[in-house]
Amino acid sequence: MPESTAQSTQTTSPSSSGTAQFRRETSAKGEFVRQANRFTERITADGSSGRKVEPGRYRLIWSRACPWAHRAAIVRRLLGLEDVISLGTVDPIRDERGWRFSLDPDGRDPVLGVEFLSESYLATDPGYEGRVTVPSLVDERSGLVVTNDYPRITLDLSTEWKAFHKPGAPDLYPEDLRAEIDEVADLIFHDVNNGVYKCGFATTQDAYESAYDALFARLDWLEDRLRGQRYLLGDRLTEADVRLFTTLVRFDAVYHGHFKCNRNKITEMPVLWAYARDLFQTPGIGETVDFDQIKRHYYGTHHMINPTGVVPKGPDTSGWTTPHGRG
């Protein structure tokens, strides 16, 4: 999918911490530019990539707060790969060294033995100076990062790890729909998934308003598309739905206010709100959502946007479990 390659190397705007962990790249026009994925090895069923699918060999590092990592955790659970690929969870609050394992006993990942994900990054590339990101798949034996290529990770879980899917697991990337899934997911990436960040991290009014207009035009398009069908590709849950969900579930809690995406809330868009609740209530999805960690991460680490670090008490999230009427 093209989202992993649409990058830039233009100017950098550091936050108050002044470290690589918190830098945000922007263009000369003040537009947010997402950092390129540094580690892009693949783990394949036949091992032709140099790394072969092997149960118990790899560890998925994620944050409950991060939408890009959240995708991988959802797909892992939907496919029943919990006993095949282990899961390590970082704290939603990063310090100057980035994602940390302070939720674990003694502040170390119990499998990798590291305090910070950056240790694995630097063991893999001692000269690495970019931001450390999740999700990351790490080789448990060597402690080295295999990939942080978030769009490819979930596709490979669906296609290369099929031999280990649970009985009845959904086919999230079926061959007959791949071209359409790629097309829809690419539109969603640019305007919605990354669009909220382009609003939140814009450093000029024009860049912000351009991203804002594209975001809500796409949300209106999605509202219309989903009016007559249950999922983005009809009656089948696919990778595209997972990718959209992780932005929708964060929208009212953080993007609406924190990132200034405030034309309206998702709860004020009847079709998208029902669709989001439908996905939330799907076994394997809603239980991966942690609104507390989501809010603490965004409001507590983006010091350039929220210098006080105060985390809002709202919104009320009880509506996520109300009937959605889309079955």
Task: Supply the residues annotated as catalytic.
Answer: 66, 197
Distances (CA, A) of 191 to 53, 96, 185, 196, 251: 33, 30, 10, 8, 14
44 DSSP β-pair partners: 52
Q: Can you tell me which residue has the tokens 């537009």?
A: 31
Q: Is 267 marked as binding a ligand?
A: no
Helices (H), 58-164: 67-78, 117-124, 150-159
Q: Is 34 marked as binding a ligand?
A: no
Q: Is 53 marked as binding a ligand?
A: no
32-33: strand order across its sheet: 12-13, 24-26, 32-33
d(CA 4, CA 63): 19
d(CA 273, CA 168): 27
Tokens read off for 278: 């439908």
Distances (CA, A) of 285 to 32, 131, 281, 298: 29, 28, 7, 21
Q: Is 184 marked as binding a ligand?
A: no
Q: Is 99 marked as binding a ligand?
A: yes
Cβ atoms of residues 326 and 278 within 8 Å: yes
Give the residue numbers of the binding site for glutathione: 99, 131-134
Give the residue numbers of the binding site: 99, 131-134
